[in-house]
Every structure is written in structure tokens, then in C-alpha cells.
A = this chain, B = another copy of it.
Amino acid sequence: MSNTHIYKNSLKSKIVVGVDVGGTNIHLGLINPRGTIIARTHLVTKSCSCNKKELIRGIVERIKILLSENKYPLQSVAGIGIGLPGLIDPRKGLVKFLPNIPGWKDVPLKKILQEKTRLKTFLENDVNLITLGEWCFGAGAGVQNMICMTLGTGVGGGFILDGHLYRGEGFAAGEIGHIPINEEGPRCNCGGYGCLERTVGNRYLLQKISQIFKKKMSLEDVYLLAQKGNRKALRFWEETATHIGNGLTGVVNILNPPRIVIGGGVANAHTFLFKTIEKTIRKRAMRVQGKMFRIVKARLGNDAGLIGARVLVLEELKARA
């Protein structure tokens, strides 16, 4: 047996099947050792009426087709990494609860997929997968500590601490959107008060926009207005960035990260956001922490979760080896 042959069969050289489950679509892809998605397909979540069995059958079918069409036998696959939008127990391989896909409660998805595909399978929360993807193949490459923040309807987060994904005792860590920025702030959906998400989550930004401009407008509209120099629009983005910076100041003070990666829809307005976020944190954070962080736009876009699936599978197999 030649060395080349051994290399070809080594874990690192194998491909990974990534699955990114969202409320609307399920994206699937094959990810090579360079973190490139070499083949992809998708499934409309509601095509299965969110029916659990149908959804799982659909995912298994798509995985098999992806592998056979691209001529990857099972032994060339390191495993499956699957991200889901909710509370996941990666140790037990359970989907505990998905807030936006009904009927998923304590589903042993790891076991089910392993039996049906004969591939090692690892589950993870979707934002944690994005965090892993950006860390190894995106804007966080090379650091041991990183905060990943996703700005959208929800404001999510994931933490790489001392070179590992930090999940928390109940696998619920990372909820940057639910750091209170005002003790006396308005009630948040989560039950708390004055949470960051309650101010900079998309829904609240849109409410604020319709108050400012006296009509319904999209975030993109206000972005374009700001580009044209519209004062109200510029001020809207400055205020939004200041709130985000205030929320992140606490994270920076307690976790002392060198890098903060920001992604998600709202991050597309980065020209109007990032400088003010950075300025706010530098002004408000403690000396050491405030000096050493850097804010970077996420690089992998919608592919971050699929690419993160590769990182998850390799990290988990390495930890078990």
C-alpha cells in the first residue's frame, strides 16, 4: 500500500455531507477538504408540510442522490454534519426543540440518520455551524478566540473559546441577542427586558423605519437612502450600530476576544454599521479588551452553515479518535 493511498483514505482527505435545515429551505452539499462546496442540492421545508418523517426521508434521499450522482462511495465520506434552527443536544444526538418547525421535540435524529445512511452523523445548532465555518474557512481563520454574531430577524451568536466551540451546559450558549442593554427596556419575546435583539432585530428596525419615514420601507431601501446621503437614513444606521456596539461592549469586556465576525442580512449595510460599532466598543470597553478586538464581516454568506458542517464532523471525529 503506497503512502498516497493512505493519504487518500485519511480522514482529512474525505468529503463531508453538510445539511443546513432552515424554516424555508433545507440546503445540502458535499464539502471537500478545502472547505469548498463541490456539489449541492436543496429541499423546500414546507414541501413535506414540515412533517417530521417526510422531512427526514427527503434529507436521506437527497444525501444518497448527491453521493451517487457525484460518484462518492460511503468510504470516501467522513460523515454528515447537520445544522438545525433550535435547541440541539449534540452529545445525545437529539433535536430538543425547533421553534419554527412544528412537531420536533426530542427527536433522536443522529441515530435515525446513522441507521438510514450508514454514515457517522453529528448534529449542531445552526448558528454554531456558521460560527465553525467562519472560524476555519472564513473571517475567523487563524484565531483561537472568536465571537460570531448574526444579524437578522433574530440576533444570534456563537463562540469559539480557546480553540473550541463553546456550547454551554445546556447547549444554549451564545445568545448575544439576549444581552440586556437596558434594565428598564421593553419586554422581549424571550421573556427578558431590554434585550439587544428587541432593539436591533429586523422586526424592530422595520418598526422604527416606518416611524421615522412615516411609511413602510425595507432595510435595503434605507441602505440605499443612506448611500445617497439622506440624513435620517444615516442617523438610523448610526443609532443601530451604537446599540449593537453597546451590546457587544459587555461581550468584549467579559470574553476578551480578538475577533468579532458579523454576518446575516443586516450586516450587508456594513459600510454604515461597522465603523460605528467599532468606535462605540473602543470608546466604552476596558483598555486591554478595547484595544485588541477587530470587527470583520462574515465571508461565507449563506454557505457558512454547510462549510461549518465539515468543521464539525472533523472536530468531533478528532475528539473521539
Interface residues of A (CB under 8 A from B): 87, 143-145, 157, 159, 161-162, 164, 166-176, 178-184, 190-193, 243, 246, 249-251, 253-258, 283-292
Contacts and interface: CB of A to CB of B under 8 A. Distances in A.
Contact of A180 (B159, B192, B249): B249
Contact of A286 (B143, B164, B191, B287): B191
A279 to B, nearest CB: 13
Contacts of A290: 191
Contacts of A174: 254
Contact of A179 (B171, B190, B254, B291): B254
Given A162-B166, A170-B292, A178 B286 contact: yes
A284 B159 CA distance: 22
Nearest to A283: B191
Contacts of A145: 168-169
19 contacts: A87-B288, A143-B169, A144-B169, A159-B254, A161-B161, A161-B166, A168-B255, A168-B289, A169-B256, A171-B256, A180-B181, A180-B249, A180-B250, A181-B182, A183-B243, A183-B246, A191-B285, A191-B287, A192-B284
A263 to B, nearest CB: 17
Contacts of A144: 169
A286 B175 contact: yes
B286 A172 contact: yes
Given A192-B284, A287-B191, A288-B170, A178 B253 contact: yes
A249 to B, nearest CB: 6
A157 B157 CA distance: 22
Contacts of A169: 143-145, 256-258, 292
A161 B255 CA distance: 11
Nearest to A251: B254
Nearest to A290: B191
A174 B256 CA distance: 8
Given A181-B180, A181-B183, A172 B251 contact: no
A2 B285 CA distance: 57
A316 to B, nearest CB: 14
A-B pairs with the 5 shortest C-beta distances?
A168-B256, A179-B250, A172-B288, A173-B256, A178-B253
Contacts of A193: 284
B286 A190 contact: yes
A193 B161 CA distance: 26
A176 B252 CA distance: 11
